[in-house]
């Protein structure tokens, strides 16, 4: 598998991951802050066929361009069963395998930031949306978040992947887009907390709402 990242000025990350043999691709978390052509031009340049557009969760800080890209590519939109959007061609809840040629993308349920957060594991990289970020985690104080669930997602679901897996987060505000999962789990200050410490810290953690909050939730839920 190969992967190309797309980083917006406001720190949102999307990824095209693709199988070199079949040339089939999946686009994870497309953002309207990138032009749709940026994604489609990349697919064309590398001769790729887009099979899936995967939303790791309903984003509260940027508008998704999943529907626009779908019109340009005919790819299937993949969302969790609990996602409020009715635009779901493939409904997942964790445990599924989405095929790109002979290669499976494994859907892992990683709730906590929202109750419909998923991570995608391609055998070498894990795309975690906002469940696990470099040096941090997603917040748990809206979108049916749960600090208890996020603790389990970090320690059980993501913690059981091989440490040499490359973590590909859904955001980074310092320009990074990858780190070894084992290194991140060892050094992330929130992962280092005990379960009671983590739950009480996250339950008290209320950063300002993102700029686009209302509009993003509304548009991304359609
Ligand atoms: Fe988020």
Kindly report, residue by residue over 108-145, the tens digit of the pLDDT: 999 999 999 999 999 999 999 999 999 999 999 999 99
| pLDDT classification of 87: cutoffs 50, 70, 90 | very high
Q: Extract the tokens encoding 13.
A: 């990350």
CA 3 to centroid of ligand 1, rounded, Å: 21
Cα 102 from Cα 2, distance rounded (Å): 14
Kindly report, residue by residue over 198-207, the tens digit of the pLDDT: 999 999 999 9
- 69 near 40, Cβ under 8 Å? yes
pLDDT score of 211: 87
CA 143 to centroid of ligand 1, rounded, Å: 9
Overall pTM > 0.95: yes
pLDDT exceeds 90 at position 43: yes
Domains with residue ranges and CATH for the chain = 2-205 (3.60.15.10)
pLDDT score of 88: 96
Q: 10 Å Cβ neighbour count for 164?
A: 10
CA 32 to centroid of ligand 1, rounded, Å: 15
Cα 104 from Cα 19, distance rounded (Å): 10
pLDDT score of 40: 97
**Average pLDDT of the chain?**
97
- Over range 61-80, report the average pLDDT: 97
Q: What percent of the chain has pLDDT over 90?
A: 99
pLDDT exceeds 90 at position 165: yes
- Of 18, 40, 66, the C-alpha closest to 216 is 66
Cα 122 from Cα 9, distance rounded (Å): 26
């Amino acid at each position: 598998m190969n992967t190309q990242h797309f980083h917006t000025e406001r720190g949102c990350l999307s990824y095209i991951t693709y199988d070199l043999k079949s040339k089939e691709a999946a686009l994870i978390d497309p953002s309207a802050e990138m032009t749709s052509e940026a994604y489609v031009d990349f697919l064309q340049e590398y001769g790729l066929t887009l099979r899936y557009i995967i939303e790791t969760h309903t984003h509260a800080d940027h508008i998704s361009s999943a529907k626009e890209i779908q019109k340009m590519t005919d790819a299937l939109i993949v969302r969790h069963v609990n996602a409020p959007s009715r635009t779901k061609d493939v409904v997942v809840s964790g445990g599924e395998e989405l095929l790109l040629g002979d290669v499976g993308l494994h859907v892992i349920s990683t709730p906590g930031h929202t109750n419909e957060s998923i991570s995608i594991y391609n055998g070498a990289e894990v795309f975690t949306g906002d469940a696990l970020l470099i040096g941090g985690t997603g917040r748990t104080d809206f979108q049916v978040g749960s600090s208890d669930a996020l603790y389990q997602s970090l320690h059980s679901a993501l913690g059981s992947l091989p440490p040499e897996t490359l973590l590909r987060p859904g955001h980074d505000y310092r320009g990074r887009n990858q780190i070894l999962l084992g290194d991140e789990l060892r050094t992330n200050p929130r992962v280092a907390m005990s379960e009671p410490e983590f739950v009480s810290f996250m339950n008290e953690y209320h950063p300002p709402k993102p700029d686009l909050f209302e509009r993003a939730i509304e548009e991304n839920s359609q």
